[in-house]
Amino acid sequence: MEDGMLIAGQQAMDRTPAPDSFEQHLIVNDRHDETSRRRARRARAHLAPWQASLARDMMLAQISCGLALADIAARLNMTVNHFIKAFRETEGVAPYHWFMQRRIARSMAMLRDETMTLSKVADECGFADQSHFTKAFTRLLGVSPGRWRRNAKNGSLTFEE
């Protein structure tokens, strides 16, 4: 019984090249070359300039409400996933991140008006509430909106706007 298992195991070993052998190296490299050829044939997703402009305009129009990527993708005749990949490849950031950067930039302009409360700024910029606004603002700029407003008033901003 042991001899039968040994022979079957030996036959299986004879069919596959040893891990450090030249034949194994060729097999592995051939697989990598085939994968590289497939990737090279596949073009990267990019938006045409008119598509990028339309997408940005549509996102800016939605700045005070939620971001509807499905509407933008449909307008560009793309799937949502393809749009996200193409936008990221074209703009260098994902659509949601680009959108949040614009919301924060808009809020920074509004924060200069000291008569507006933080909750009003949050509402005008499309955030769910002041807490959501504060978290997003702090995540992006590293300082809370209230502190940013005080620093802007004193002229002691330590980072570029």
d(CA 161, CA 146): 15
Buried b / exposed e across 14-26, counting CB within 10 Å, b at 16+?
eeeeeeeeeeeee
The model's pTM: 0.68
d(CA 11, CA 16): 9
- Per-residue pLDDT of the chain (161 residues), as tens digits, is 555 554 544 554 455 555 565 555 555 555 555 555 555 555 678 999 999 999 999 999 999 888 899 999 999 999 999 999 999 999 999 999 999 999 999 999 999 999 999 999 999 999 999 999 999 999 999 999 999 999 988 876 655 44
Q: Beta-carbon neighbour count of residue 47 at 10 Å?
A: 21
Buried b / exposed e across 116-133, counting CB within 10 Å, b at 16+?
bebeebbbbbbbeebeeb
